[in-house]
Amino acid sequence: MYGIIHHSKLRALKNPPTKINWPLFSGVILILFASFINSSALFISMVDIKINLQLNFVEMTWISIVYLTFVTGFIGVAGQYGDMYGHIKLFMVGSLIYLICCIILSACTNVAMLMVGRAIQGLGVAFLVANSLSIIRMCAPSNQVPRLMKIWVITLFSAYSLGCILGALMSSVNWRINYWIMFAFVLPGLYLVWKNRLAANDEFEKKPIDYLGTLLILLSIILLVLLFTTPAIWGWHSPAVITFIAVTPILFIAFLVREKIADFPLVPLSIFKNMDFSLGVIQIFSCFFGFYVNATQAPWRAHYQMYDYVLKELPALVEKEFPVTDKKAIAGHSMGGHGALVLALRNSDQYSSVSAFSPICHPSACAWGKKAFTAYLGPDELHWLSYDACELLKDANQTLPLLIDQGSADEFYPQQLLTEDFQEAAKQASYSIECRFHDGYDHSYYFISSLIGDHINFHAQHLYA
C-alpha cells in the first residue's frame, strides 16, 4: 500500500492542520464503514445468492477470489496514484466506483455479472483503503493522529462484525438489500468528503510511475491469492497450484530487486529499517496464527497470552459492558475450533457446550501445530500437551455437549485437522461427542454459513436447559 507506507515514514506535512477536521474524517469513516459491512454481509448472504442465481461451489469460490484479488492486487497502485494526484480525489473516485458496483450487483441475474461487479468493487475498495490513512493524517495535528487511527481500526472491525448480523437479517428478506442500503452510508459520506476537501492540505507530487515494479507486485499478489484459494477447487497437486508455488516467490524476489534499483520505487524498502513499522507488520500477520496459547518464548511471551484473553479478559469485559449473565458457550472454526475445544476441555465448569467447524484436533501431531507450538511454547513437546484437544480428552473430568462439523472436501483434511484422531481419543476416554462429516464442503466460510444455524440451536438448547 504505497500511500500508507509512504506516509508511515511520518514525513512532516508542510502545512499541518491545527485542529481535527471532524467532518472530513467522519465522511471517510462512514464510507469505509459501509464497505466493510457489505464485505462481511456478502459472505453471510452467499447461501441465498447461491440458491437465487443457481450457482455451484466453484462459481461461489471464484466470486470471493476475484474480489480479494482486485483488492490486494491494486491497493499499491491506488496508493501511488494518491501520492501523485491527491488522496482525497482518489478516495472519492473509489467511492463512486463502489456505488456504481452496488447498482450492478443489486441487479445482477447471473454469475458473470456478479463476478464482474465484485471485481470492479474490489478495485474501488482498494482505492478507499489505500488512501484513507493518508487522509487521516491531513485531518488532525500529529499528536491527534493516533487517536483517529484507533477510531479507524475500531470502525473497521466493528463494521465487519456488524455486517455478519445485518447480512443474516437482510438476506432473510432479500439479499440485494445488502447493496441498496450502502447508499444510505456512502452518499452522506461522499458529501462530507467533497464539502470539506478544500479545508485539508492534500499534498501530492507528480512523479514517474514504476510500471515494472507495479506489474511485478500486482502479479505476485494475484498469484499469492490464487495460491491460498484455488487448492480448494483444484487440489494442492494440480499443475496450476504447483506453478503458483514455484512462480510466486520468484516474482516477489524480482520485485524487491526492482525496488532496490528504481529511481522512484513503488515501495521504498528503506521503510523496513523503521523498527516500529517492521514490528507492526510482523504483529499484524502473527495475529492470524495465535493458536490460543499463553506464549512462553521470546518475543511472544510479553504480549501473546491469547488463552487468558479468551478465558478471562474478554468475558469480563463483555459482562461489564453489556447486560449479560456469566453463562456462556464457546465455538470456533479451524484454528479457532482448536482454541474452543482446548478452552472448553480445560475449563468445563465455565461453558455449557462447545462446538467447532473443521477444527485442528491434534495440533501436536500436525505440521501447523508443531510449527506454532515450537515458536510459542518451545521445543519441549511435553509443554504442548496442555493445548492439544486429543491429549486433554484423556484427563477430562466432566463431559460437555460437544459438536464437530467437518467437510469431506476440506483441503486441509485429514493431514492438518486429524479429525479421526479426536474421534479415537474420545472413544478411548468414553467421552460422548457428535462428529458429523459433510460431503462436498471445504474449509471456507460457505461451510460455516450453511451450518451455523445448527450450532446456534445446539448452544441455545444447552444454555437455556
Cell numbers for 368, please give them. 501447523
Angle between helices 57-85 and 87-107 (to 10 degrees): 160
Q: How far apart are CA 367 and CA 341, in angstroms?
A: 19
Q: How far apart are CA 262 and CA 254, in angstroms?
A: 12
Which phi and psi (to 5°) does residue 408 adopt?
A: -75, -20
Amino acid identity at 124: G
Cell numbers for 56, please give them. 455451484
410 is catalytic: yes
> Which of 129, 118, 94, 149 is closest to 39 using CA atoms?
118
Cell numbers for 262, please give them. 528504481
Cell numbers for 294, please give them. 499463553
Burial category of 402 from C-beta neighbours within 10 Å (exposed 0-12, middle 13-18, buried 19 and up): buried
The position carrying cell 501520492 is 83
Classify residue 444 by its DSSP letter. Answer: S
Beta carbons within 10 angstroms of residue 235's beta carbon: 12
443 is catalytic: yes
The position carrying cell 465487519 is 160
Give every CB contact of residue 365 below 8 A, 6+ residues apart in sequence.
Answer: 390, 418, 421
| C-alpha torsion sign, points 167, 168, 169, 174 | positive
| Residue of 95, 410, 449, 459 with catalytic role | 410
Whole-number CA gyration radius for the chain:
24
386 is catalytic: no
| Residue of 443, 444, 455, 459 with catalytic role | 443
| Residue of 39, 334, 352, 444 with catalytic role | 334
| Residue positions annotated with a catalytic role | 334, 410, 443
